[in-house]
Amino acid sequence: MTDLQNTIFDPPGVSDETATALPARRPGIAALPRPLVIAATASIVVLIGYLNSNAPTDLTFTFYYLAPVLFVTWFLGRWEGYFIAVFSIGTFLVAELHGAASYNHPSMAYWNAGSRLSFFLLSVALLSSFRNLSTRLGAMVDERTKALQRLAAQLSEAEDSERRRLAYDIHDGFGQILSILKLNLAAALPEAPEGTETRLRINAAIAMVNDLIDRTRTLTFDLHPAMLDHLGLVPTLRRHAEQFAKQTGVEVTVSEDGAPPKLATTTANYLFRSIKELLNNAVKHGQAKQIVAAVHWTPAYVRIVIDDDGAGFDSAAAFTPGHNKGIGLAGIRERLLSLGGSIRLESSAGSGTRVVLELPLTNRETSA
């Protein structure tokens, strides 16, 4: 077994972040109990008030009172911000009246407190409005993104359905006509004497029909391999690997671990075409001589790792769409993203290439 095969039959070295199909998000401040956040913020305000009461008159603490107000407004909401604003100004007033600061007239402390309260309340209103606008815009972007993803999925399903229809039409129509034509030519062959021009023409016609039948089978397999519906992804990949090796002389090894689920037809067809594209890229652009494709199944996701010993390439520019590139790496990435998956490249000049595809196996993508 070669070194390349040894590196792939072991579990691939992917990061912990991709160890699950849908990693859980870390809880933010907004996920904490609101009374706890408010109590912690109020404690900070009290500490600021204590420092304010012992500070000289020429030091201002306005910003330090305002910071907790803005913090609570952004993470909890407008009314919580109003509460902390009033609490902050109350703390400020007590600190000014009982601290080291002195005024020519006691009413100046109340005037300062009132002006600061107006500024704080206005700040809360503006910040909360901006926060709500940001939230609505984010929700609109998410909604439009999901709509585009649904549209992409529908277009892909329509494309797969049309490919499947064309494959069956070619097989059932054109393929059967060629088979009948071959039978008729074979039946007419004994009627032509050996060495005659007629017999030579019949033999040439039979050879041409055989070539057309082979081309038809290849075309139908490229459009939609029927065995993909009946045998699944990996057996179809192994079949393609055999044909690919005969055509290119490149050794292709396909491995599998885990229990494969019953994939939706659209998903299975898309993964198969993506892997075909990656195999073609490895030979066409990397001049690879050996390729190993490993399919790892888990209940939550499927991970496909493709290694080759080719020349490598610039992974940063690999996703740039171009002409005459088939579905291309950019197309593979966009479709994977629309399905909630991901693609990762590891390549450098002279060291081969590793491509890792991951796709979550949700109920939407599998069928019973």
CATH code of the domain covering residue 328: 3.30.565.10
> Are 290 and 197 in a shared domain?
no
pLDDT of residue 96: 77
* For range 177-193, the mean pLDDT: 84
* Alpha carbon separation from 337 to 2, 58, 332 (Å, rounded): 33, 57, 9
> Are 37 and 156 in a shared domain?
yes
pLDDT tens digits, one per residue of 122-142? 989 999 899 889 889 989 998
Q: How far apart are CA 242 and CA 138, in angstroms?
A: 48
Indicate the pairing of strand 342-347 with strand 301-308: unpaired
Q: How far apart are CA 317 and CA 315, in angstroms?
A: 5
Whether 13 is covered by a domain: the verdict is no
> Are 242 and 205 in a shared domain?
no
Whether 3 is covered by a domain: the verdict is no
Of the listed ranges 117-121, 323-327, 334-338, the one predicted with least confidence: 323-327
> Are 158 and 293 in a shared domain?
no
Whether 107 is covered by a domain: the verdict is yes
> Are 338 and 286 in a shared domain?
yes
Instruction: Give residue 366's pLDDT band: very low, low, confident or very high (50, 70, 90).
Output: very low
* Nearest one of 238, 263, 275 to 253, comparing CA atoms: 238
Decide if pLDDT at 257 tops 80: yes
pLDDT tens digits, one per residue of 74-96? 888 889 889 999 998 888 888 87
pLDDT of residue 292: 92
Q: Give the count of domains, the chain.
A: 2
> Are 126 and 183 in a shared domain?
yes
The more confident residue out of 225 and 60 is 225
Indicate the pairing of strand 353-360 with strand 301-308: antiparallel
> Are 141 and 255 in a shared domain?
no
pLDDT, mean over the chain: 79
Structural domain containing residue 306: 232-368
pLDDT tens digits, one per residue of 267-289? 888 888 889 888 988 888 888 89
Final residue of a domain: which of 176, 205, 224? 224
> Are 198 and 311 in a shared domain?
no
Whether 9 is covered by a domain: the verdict is no
Is the pTM higher than 0.75? The answer reads: no
> Are 207 and 255 in a shared domain?
no
Final residue of a domain: which of 164, 194, 224? 224
> Are 188 and 45 in a shared domain?
yes
Of the listed ranges 21-35, 84-98, 320-334, the one predicted with least confidence: 21-35
With a pLDDT cut of 70, the percent of the chain lying above it is 82
> Are 33 and 151 in a shared domain?
yes
Final residue of a domain: which of 224, 248, 281? 224
Whether 125 is covered by a domain: the verdict is yes
> Are 192 and 281 in a shared domain?
no
Whether 20 is covered by a domain: the verdict is no
Whether 23 is covered by a domain: the verdict is no
- Residues 77, 78, 80, 85, CA torsion sign: positive
With a pLDDT cut of 90, the percent of the chain lying above it is 11
* Nearest one of 272, 247, 48, 290 to 156, comparing CA atoms: 272
pLDDT of residue 294: 93
Question: Taking the CB of residue 314, how many other CB atoms lie within 10 A of it?
Answer: 11
Decide if pLDDT at 367 tops 60: no
Percent composition of the chain: helix, strand, coil (DSSP 3-state, to 5): 65, 10, 25
pLDDT tens digits, one per residue of 60-71? 677 888 888 889
Sheet holding 251-257, edge to edge: 251-257, 290-297, 301-308, 353-360, 342-347
pLDDT of residue 297: 93
Whether 24 is covered by a domain: the verdict is no
